[in-house]
Amino acid sequence: MVFPHLGGDIIKVLFTLKFSEEEFDKIRDLGYEVVFNSEGNKSTLDKLTEEELDSFDVLVTYNCFEKLDISKMKNLKYIQLGSTGFDQVPFDKLLDREILLCNNKGGYSIPISEWIVSTILQIYKNTKYFYTKQDKRQWICDYSVSEVYGKKIGFLGTGTLALESAKRLKSFGVEIWGCNTDGRSIKYFDKCYSTEEIDEIFSNCDIVVSTIPATKNTYNLIDKNKFSIMKEGSSFINVGRGKVLNEDDLLKYAHKFRGIALDVFEQEPLSEESKLWDLDNIIITPHNSWVSEQNSIRSFNLFYNNLKKYISHKDPDNIVKIEKGY
């Protein structure tokens, strides 16, 4: 890793994410000059002068890229994302520059894994049906409720989201399968397959959960060819990125699934005209699975530790391979 900032000058970091002054002081104590300018509705990022933009060495942001042209930040060396995903990043403005990019991998894994467990239970316990009857004050038993016990649950991707989910799901007596680039073994997974063997997951598992990022290789990866080989009465869940899923194909095969749960979509917000809303067997949440009262604490701890490593000339955690897109 190259650290072009080395020297006696103070490193200047622009935060577009709000933290307390006490937390910002902790960053200052590491040796940084901290500037905060929100990326929210009241942002003045687009008002920063050329001189101000040139002064920043580090950018800590969730998604300021529509308001801030990073190509004008001539001294930018390091971008720390507050998100796990990074499809909001203008990679074309980074490829020709020695800019380090890190994401918040693992920062939201606990709340998202809880969302995955929750939706699986809702699907097999027919929770949506019971809530509908409750709203109508109807006392109607449902004998199609099923156990999760003994099911095969397959994860596309075996990163932190899948790992935290597998850890929690093991207590339900399920079999956990995973798919990663080379089929390497992962803790909590009973079987792992390579990406070349991905159809093993789709054809054999009762529940398929997608946690993979959106890249040129994963765009619309989950389509009619995958849905056609899934079991009748199986379930599909997507919590990774919407662009990996062909939503039109999902609509065509929706009838074969016991349940579908989607938290991410190709276009967000999901249009009111989308036919996905009309499905009886679907749970739709508005990209909300990551939300938790603990997020700010976890994110700050990651930012602090990475900035501490960076100023100490050590590699930060969660470096994104820009040339590969993950």
Residue 1 has pLDDT above 70, yes or no: no
Neighbouring residues of 118: CB distance < 8 A, sequence distance ≥ 6: none
Q: How far apart are CA 317 and CA 104, in angstroms?
A: 9
Residue 45 has pLDDT above 80, yes or no: yes
pLDDT of residue 326: 64
Q: State mean pLDDT over 112-126.
A: 98
pLDDT of residue 31: 96
pTM for this structure?
0.91
Query: 7 falls in which pLDDT band (50, 70, 90)?
Result: low
Environment class of residue 177 by beta-carbon count within 10 Å: exposed (0-12), middle (13-18) or buried (19+)?
A: buried
Q: Do domains 11-106+294-311 and 109-284 have the same CATH topology?
A: yes
Neighbouring residues of 278: CB distance < 8 A, sequence distance ≥ 6: none
Q: What are phi and psi of 268, to 5 degrees?
A: -125, 135
Cis peptide before 316 (omega within 30 of 0): no
Q: Which one has a higher pLDDT value, 84 or 279?
A: 279
Strand order in the sheet with 257-262: 191-194, 175-180, 152-156, 207-210, 234-238, 257-262, 282-284
Residue 322 has pLDDT above 80, yes or no: no
Q: What is the mean pLDDT of the chain?
A: 94
Angle at 230 between CA 229 and CA 233, to 5 degrees: 140
Query: 8 falls in which pLDDT band (50, 70, 90)?
Result: low
Domain map (residue ranges) of the chain: 11-106+294-311, 109-284
Q: What's the one-letter identity of residue 206?
A: D
pLDDT of residue 262: 98
Residue 6 has pLDDT above 60, yes or no: no
Q: Determine the topology of domain 11-106+294-311 in CATH.
A: Rossmann fold (3.40.50)
Residue 3 has pLDDT above 90, yes or no: no
| Torsion 66-68-71-72 (CA) sign | positive
pLDDT of residue 80: 98
Residue 129 has pLDDT above 60, yes or no: yes
pLDDT digits (tens, 9 = 90+) for 175-191: 999 999 999 999 999 99
Q: How far apart are CA 104 and CA 62, in angstroms?
A: 9
Q: How far apart are CA 19 and CA 83, in angstroms?
A: 15
Q: What are phi and psi of 14, to 5 degrees?
A: -100, 120
Neighbouring C-alpha atoms within 13 Å toward the C-beta of 202: 17
Q: Where are the strands (E) in 62-190, listed by range?
A: 78-81, 100-102, 152-156, 175-180
Query: 92 falls in which pLDDT band (50, 70, 90)?
Result: confident
Q: Which one has a higher pLDDT value, 137 or 5?
A: 137
Query: 94 falls in which pLDDT band (50, 70, 90)?
Result: confident
Say what the alpha-carbon torsion angle 149, 229, 287, 124 is, to the nearest 10 degrees. Answer: -30
pLDDT of residue 116: 98
pLDDT of residue 256: 98
pLDDT digits (tens, 9 = 90+) for 199-254: 999 999 999 999 999 888 999 999 999 999 999 999 999 999 999 999 999 999 99
Q: How far apart are CA 284 and CA 272, in angstroms?
A: 12
Structure token pair of residue 251: 């609509």
Q: What percent of the chain has pLDDT over 90?
A: 89
- Provide the CATH number for the domain formed by 109-284 in this structure: 3.40.50.720
Tell me which residue of 244, 272, 273, 252 sits closest to 262, measured CA to CA: 244
pLDDT digits (tens, 9 = 90+) for 71-84: 999 999 999 999 99
